[in-house]
Structure 1
Amino acid sequence: MSFAGKVVLITGASSGIGAETAIHFAQLGALLSITGRNKHNLDKVAEQCGQSKPFIITGDLANENDVKNIIDSTIKHYGKIDILVNNAAIAEFGGIETTSLEQYDNIFNVNVRSVFQLTTLAVPHLIKTKGNIVNVSSVAGLRPLKNNLPYCMSKAALDQFTRCVALELASRQVRVNSVNPGVIQTNILRNSGLSQEQIKIRYEQIKGMHALGRNGDSLEIAKTIAFLASDDASFMTGVTLLVDGGLHIMPPENVAMH
């Protein structure tokens, strides 16, 4: 599998799945444009990409001007985009009685609205290259998780977005797919209000949510993203591909985000 000469734009690349995906694509020869809010972390990821130094764009996806700048800067630097990886996301816990409208808006602004805007801006360039899009969704988009209402809603919206845009762009030979991970040990919970100790306990508790009895690894998701973006998946579009250790087949009583 080679991405030599292909320009890959990855959001949320400063840590977790996004960082691992950037490093993996770099190893496969891609030309990278990576974005996130933390310049220091983006620099560290760039160092791990070896000789293929990524183009770094610092920005907040909740800011419309920053989103536009991500596309404009990438095109100015590389002249094209072949693959868009919509990876950035945030998570907060809460149900219908405990989630504030502010929390709801925060999650939808990053997890859905920014993806809509970024994709809209990227599509003309992807049509030119007959490129493709990989959205990083979640098993939470396909089955309910307790105490995780706005996040589940945002990922369900992203999955439907994937299918609708795949249908729209198929005639232009632009493929659109999503990968739907189970619980992956990343930094996504750091901003959820939990302490490091609570996060450690949480990850230990939720291993049992997966049929395979463990949480996932970022590299497992990065490899799936690369597969969906590659010619090996040339006849796949509109797919929501579960990579969740069997979480989706577990009985409801085993699946609770407390």
Structure 2
Amino acid sequence: MVSAQPLEDFTGKVVVVTGAGSGIGRATARAFARAGAHVLGVGRRADALAETGADHAGFVAHPVDLCDPGAPADVIDAATRRWGRLDVLVNNAGATRLMPVAETTADGITALFALNVTAPSLLAHAALPHLRHARGSIVNVSSTYGHRPLPGAAHYAASKAALEHLTRSWAVELAADGIRVNALAPGPTESQALAAAGLPEETVEQIKRTEAARIPLGRRGEPAEVAAWILRLADPATTWLTGQILTIDGGLELT
């Protein structure tokens, strides 16, 4: 198990992390809390968020479905009412869905984009006045498949490509406000995403083996390895980095 002890100091900072109930989101929320931040962890399952926050005093759970109308504004209000500020927004929540062209439906596309594109956009909108005041930052979590083909799941890849382009566009738009916007594009990482997509266990294990064989470093990533880079992108000391998409995938992008 890889451990990521944060070098960054976020003492007194307020951070919202979506998708904090498992995987990269859980590791990120815990890492920010260890670094001294007040963390509002957002997710649909209260029990999973409670597990994330166990033994992390700086973590507060906020169960909500980000696709519900008004949920993004409610999330930002919850953080700012509690702590009076917002310094970092981590848009990590997302859905993975296999949807070959032959099985593509309007509802399937809408559901993917609602969580992977619309929710981060509305969270950024609600957070903007507070991030302006704090001269804070946004970190979007994309995927290595946001800029490489993914046959059979093209709409998932397209939603992540959209998030990457939002990252670049927001970075330019918000630079005058002192707000930095960057994205992390993880490769295949140990999480519940494949199981959550409804795949049977044997299929999940086969996909994991196939992915690991394609990665030059020979393995899938650990959530803590990704979380460490999210903190680096959000670090206030990272003063001159914006509009970047950092791929962390064990070399998969090179293949």
TM range (shorter): over 0.9
- 5+ residue gaps, structure 1, are 251-258
C-alpha displacement at 1:126, in angstroms?
0.1
Conservation of the 8 A alpha-carbon contact between 1:60 and 1:67: no
Q: Which runs of 5+ in 2 are unaligned?
A: 1-7
Q: After superposition, give the CA deviation of every residue in 1:87-128 in whole Å (9 maximum; x if it has no partner).
A: 000001122222222111111000000011111110111000
Asked if the contact 2:219/2:250 (under 8 Å) is kept, the reply is yes
The residue that corresponds to 1:4 in the other structure is 11
Question: Which residue of the partner structure matches residue 42 of structure 1?
Answer: 49
Paired residue for 2:207?
202
| Map of 1:231 onto structure 2 | 236
**Distance between the aligned counterparts of 1:130 and 1:85, measured in 2?**
15
Amino acid in structure 2 at the alignment position of 1:5: G
- 2:22 corresponds, among 15, 19, 28, to 15
Which of 24, 30, 50 lines up with 2:31 in the alignment? 24
Contact (CA 8 Å) 1:83, 1:133: kept in 2 or not? Answer: yes
1:85 match: secondary structure: strand
Map residues 1-258 of structure 1 onto 2, 5 A cutoff.
Answer: 1-49=8-56, 51-52=57-58, 54-250=59-255
Scaled by the length of structure 1, what TM-score is found?
0.93
| Distance in 2 (alpha carbons) for counterparts of 1:27 and 1:62 | 29
Identity across matched positions, percent: 36
- Paired with 1:196 and 1:97, the residues of 2 have a C-alpha distance of 24
Distance 2:88 2:236 in 1: 12
Q: CA deviation at 1:6?
A: 0.4
Distance 1:37 1:136 in 2: 18
1:197 deviates by 2.9
Paired letter, 1:120: H
Q: How many residues align structurally?
A: 248
Once residues 9 and 212 of structure 2 are traced to their aligned partners in structure 1, the CA distance between those partners, rounded to angstroms, is 34
| C-alpha distance in 1 between matches for 2:41 and 2:188 | 23
Aligned to 1:200, the other structure's residue is in SS state helix
Q: Runs of at least 4 residues of structure 1 off by over 3 A? A: none
Whichever residue aligns with residue 82 of structure 1, its letter is D
Aligned-pair CA distance for 1:48: 4.0
TM-score (norm 2): 0.94
